[in-house]
Structure 1
Amino acid sequence: MKPFSEYMNEWLYGPDGYYAHFKAIGKEGDFYTAVSTSRFFGATIAHYMISLIKKEKLSPRTFLVEIGAHQGYLLGDMIEWIAQEAPELLETMRFGIIERFPSLQRVQKEYFKSRFGDTVVLHHYIDARQIGAKEAFVVANEILDAFPCDLVYRGKTALVDENHAIRFEGEDEQALAIAKRYGQQKGEVARGYESFAATLYEAAEKIVFTAFDYGEKEARPDFSIRIYKGHEVFPLFEEGIDLKELFGKSDITYDVNFSHVMDAFEGAGFSTAAFKTQLRALTEYGLPDLLEQLARLGDQKLYLRELNKIKTLIDPQMMGERFKLIEFHKNIG
C-alpha cells in the first residue's frame, strides 16, 4: 500500500500520468480554466505587470515566467497585450516557462512559433532555480490544487492498495502535523508547498508571484477532492466510482487551503502582498480599463462577445468569488 499523495503524484505526473502529455482544455477537454475562457484574463495580468514597471517596482528588464503553462496560452496572451500597451518592453524583457515534461515543452514551442514566429524567444526551465534573474514576474493559474495531497480522517492518513482501494490506516506524521496546524479532522493536506516556495525564492533577486486558484482562506472541514472527466465531476468517495478506470485518464483536484500556501511562502522568505477574490483582483488589476479600450474600437459584436466571456471570469456565481488570487513579493519596495 502507498500513501495517497504518492498515488496522486503517479496519477497526475507519472510516465502515463494525466499531465505528462498534452491534454486539451476547454470545450474539447475535461474542464475549463480562466485562460481558456477569455484572453482578457492574461491581458489584465499583463496590464498589472506593466503598471508595476511604470511605478518602478519592477524594471523593463523583468523576466516574465509562467509555471504550469499547459500549451502556453496565458503567457502568450500576456505577451500579446504587452505588444499593444508597451511594445518597447518586448525589446528588454525575457519570457520563459517552467515545465519538466519534454513533450509539453515541444507543444509550447510549437504554439509560440505559430503565434509569434521568430519575434518571441521562449526559454524553458525544469526548475525555478535555473532562472537566475535579477527580477521576475511569475504567474500561475490553477497549479496549487495540482500538488499531490494526503487525505486525513480522524487521526489517520489514507493508503491505497494495488486495487485502487483507499483505506485510512496510515500514520504519516508530517501530514497529520499539518492537519493539526489547520484544525483538520477530515480533508486534504497538500504536500510540496514548502519546497516549491523555497525553490521559487531562489529564482530571482526580486520577485512578484501571482497565482489564481479555487479554495478558501481556511481549510475545509470535509473532503473536496474530486475528479474531472469530460466536464463531469465525480467526488472521489462517490459510490460506484471506478478509480482504476479513471487513473491517469482524468484530472484529480481539491480546494486549496490558502492559509497553508501563505505559511509556506512566508516561511521561505516571501511577504504576502494580496489575497482576494478573482473578481476583485481582475477589477483592481485593470480589467475595466481594458474593456473600455475594447469598447472604443467600435466593433459592437466583438465587444459583446468578449463581454460575455469576461462575465464568466468575474460573475460571483461562476469564477468571480470561487477563485482567488494570492500574490507574494520578494524585495519589492
Structure 2
Amino acid sequence: MTERDETQMTELTGLLIRRIREDGRTGYVTDADGKRRSLPAIPFRDYMAVCLYDEKHGYYAAGPNRVGREGDFYTSADIGGIMSAVLARFASGTFAGSGRPPVVFEWGAGTGRLGIRLLEEWRNIEPDRAASVRYVMADSHAGHREAARRGAAEAGFAASVEALAPDEAEARLAEAERPLILANELLDAFPFRRIKREGGMLWEIGAAYDEREGRLRDALMPLDQASLNRLEAEGLMPLEGQEAEWGTDALAWLEQMLGIVRAGRIVLIDYGDVQEELLAPHRMKGTMRCYRRHVVHDNPYRYPGDQDITAHVNFTAVMRTAEQCGWRTAWYGTQMRFLLEGGVLELLREHAGTDPFSPEARRNRAVRQLLLSDGMSELFKVVVLERP
C-alpha cells in the first residue's frame, strides 16, 4: 500500500480531521506535479496517539483483543510459552538469595499470556518461591485486563496476580522494593515523532487532511529550536531525503519508570537496533509499519484506530537514557542470544512418540520456531537495565 490509498472514513477519522482543522499548524505537502502547497497539520505523534489511545476509538484502548490469532499480530509470548519459560528462570535467578517475596511488574501485559505461563514455569522449577510471587500486569486495554484476570484465576494464580491500568500499576510500583519489571514488545507501542531531512533542513512529519484529494496524508512541519537542539545532542541526524522515527514517548516512559524505582531490574524486549543501523542508507523510509489482520503495510492513514502503527526501537537511545538516570546496562543482545544463554535448549524434550501434537513435540517445535523462524530472534533485541 502507498500513501495515496484512500482513508477509511469513520467517527475517529472525523474527530482527527476536526482536530487538524482546529489545532493544526502550517505544514507543506508536495503534489505529483512537484508543486508545494500549505495545509494545516498536527505532529504525527499526536495523530498516532489518538489512533492508538483514544478512550472510545483507540486501537490499544478499545475494541476487541488485538493479540494472537483473533487479533492483528503475534508476539513472542504466543509461541509455545518458550519466552515465558526462559523469563521464569531469569526471574528466579534475579530473586535468588533474597529473603523477601518476589515482586514482578509486567508493563503492556496484554491478555496476560506471558505472565501466566511464566508463573506456571516458575511453579514447576521453584514451587515454594513461586507461591509467594506478587505479579502485577499493567495494560491500558480494559478487555485485555479482564482476560488476564480470568486467565490467572483459571491457572490458579488469582491471589498472586493483579491486572491494573497503568496509573494504578505505577502507584503499586512506587511501594515495591527492588522489583523486576518486564516489558515485552511495549516500547514499540508508544506514539513516536517522525523526522525528515529535506532541502538540507530537518522537518517534523505531520498529519494533514487534504480537502482536494479527500485523504489524510503526510505534511512537513518546521521544527522548533528545542527539538533541533535535542536531535543534534542525540545524534539523530537523517541523511538528505531520509525519514526516521524519534521515540520520545517511549523514552519519557522509561525515564518515569527509572525515576519511580530506586533499585531493581528492568528487562525490555522489542524489535529494533542501535541508532547507527536505523540511520543507515538502506533505511531511507524509516521503519514505520502498520498491522491489520496479520497483514503488514506502510500507510498509517488508511484505517485510523483499526490498525497497529509501530516502528523499530532505538536501543542506543534506550541505553543512553538509562545511564543518564543512574542505571547501567547489564546486558544487551539479540533475543536469540538471550534465549540461548537463558537455557532455552534445555527445554527441548526427548520423545519416542509419533504424535506431532504431543506436549513434547509442540514444545520442541516452539523452541525451533522462536529461534529460527523468519529471523525473529535476530531482529528482536533484549536489554537488561539494573541499579543495585
Mapped pair 1:53 → 2:121: no
| Structure 1 SS opposite 2:382 | strand
Between the aligned partners of 2:248 and 2:237, the Cα distance in structure 1 is 15
Greater Rg by CA: 2
Gaps of 5+ in 2: 1-40, 210-214
Between the aligned partners of 1:125 and 1:67, the Cα distance in structure 2 is 10
> Are the equivalent residues in 2 in contact too, given 1:215–1:258 (CA < 8 A)?
yes
> Are the equivalent residues in 2 in contact too, given 1:312–1:318 (CA < 8 A)?
no
Q: How does 1:306-321 map to 2 (within 5 A)?
A: 306-315=363-372, 317-321=374-378
Range with bigger deviation, 42-51 or 172-181: 172-181
Range with bigger deviation, 146-155 or 201-210: 201-210
Could you list the per-position Cα deviations for residues 125-169 of structure 1 after superposition, in whole angstroms to 9, with x for gaps in the alignment? Answer: 523541211121111111111121111111000111244221112
Match of 1:32 in 2: 74
| Counterpart pick for 2:255 among 178, 198, 205 | 198
Between the aligned partners of 2:122 and 2:352, the Cα distance in structure 1 is 18
Between the aligned partners of 1:76 and 1:297, the Cα distance in structure 2 is 29
Q: How does 1:178-257 map to 2 (within 5 A)?
A: 178-180=230-232, 181-185=234-238, 186-219=243-276, 220-221=278-279, 222=284, 223-236=286-299, 243=301, 245-257=302-314
Between the aligned partners of 1:52 and 1:193, the Cα distance in structure 2 is 25
Match of 1:158 in 2: 205
Q: How does 1:140-155 map to 2 (within 5 A)?
A: 140-154=183-197, 155=202
| Structure 2 SS opposite 1:320 | helix
| Structure 2 SS opposite 1:61 | coil
Q: CA deviation at 1:276?
A: 0.4
| Structure 1 SS opposite 2:61 | coil
Question: How many residues align structurally?
Answer: 321
Gaps of 5+ in 1: 237-241
Between the aligned partners of 1:327 and 1:296, the Cα distance in structure 2 is 35
Amino acid at match of 2:361: L
Match of 1:18 in 2: 59
Q: CA deviation at 1:60?
A: 4.7
| Structure 2 SS opposite 1:211 | strand
Q: 1:175 to 1:148 in 2, by over 3 A?
A: farther
Match of 2:178 in 1: 135
> Are the equivalent residues in 1 in contact too, given 2:105–2:138 (CA < 8 A)?
yes
Q: 1:101 to 1:308 in 2, by over 3 A?
A: closer
Range with bigger deviation, 207-216 or 162-171: 162-171
Q: 1:259 to 1:178 in 2, by over 3 A?
A: farther
Q: CA deviation at 1:299?
A: 9.1
Between the aligned partners of 1:89 and 1:278, the Cα distance in structure 2 is 26
Amino acid at match of 2:180: F
Between the aligned partners of 1:89 and 1:11, the Cα distance in structure 2 is 42
Could you list the per-position Cα deviations for residues 54-110 of structure 1 after superposition, in whole angstroms to 9, with x for gaps in the alignment? Answer: 3x3x55512111000110111111111111111111333211012344443323222
Q: CA deviation at 1:266?
A: 1.7
Q: CA deviation at 1:311?
A: 1.8
Between the aligned partners of 1:224 and 1:122, the Cα distance in structure 2 is 34
Q: CA deviation at 1:183?
A: 3.8
Please report the RMSD computed on the Cα atoms of aligned residues, expressed in angstroms.
2.4
| Structure 1 SS opposite 2:59 | coil
Q: 1:176 to 1:42 in 2, by over 3 A?
A: farther
Match of 1:239 in 2: none
Between the aligned partners of 2:304 and 2:267, the Cα distance in structure 1 is 30
> Are the equivalent residues in 2 in contact too, given 1:197–1:268 (CA < 8 A)?
no
Amino acid at match of 2:76: A
Match of 1:328 in 2: 385
| Structure 2 SS opposite 1:138 | strand
Q: 1:204 to 1:4 in 2, by over 3 A?
A: same
> Are the equivalent residues in 1 in contact too, given 2:291–2:308 (CA < 8 A)?
yes
Match of 1:295 in 2: 350
Scaled by the length of structure 1, what TM-score is found?
0.88
Between the aligned partners of 2:236 and 2:184, the Cα distance in structure 1 is 27
Q: 1:248 to 1:174 in 2, by over 3 A?
A: farther
Q: 1:146 to 1:176 in 2, by over 3 A?
A: farther
Q: 1:118 to 1:234 in 2, by over 3 A?
A: closer
> Are the equivalent residues in 2 in contact too, given 1:193–1:264 (CA < 8 A)?
no
> Are the equivalent residues in 1 in contact too, given 2:149–2:158 (CA < 8 A)?
no
Q: 1:123 to 1:225 in 2, by over 3 A?
A: closer
Between the aligned partners of 2:250 and 2:67, the Cα distance in structure 1 is 25
Scaled by the length of structure 2, what TM-score is found?
0.76
Between the aligned partners of 1:200 and 1:95, the Cα distance in structure 2 is 17
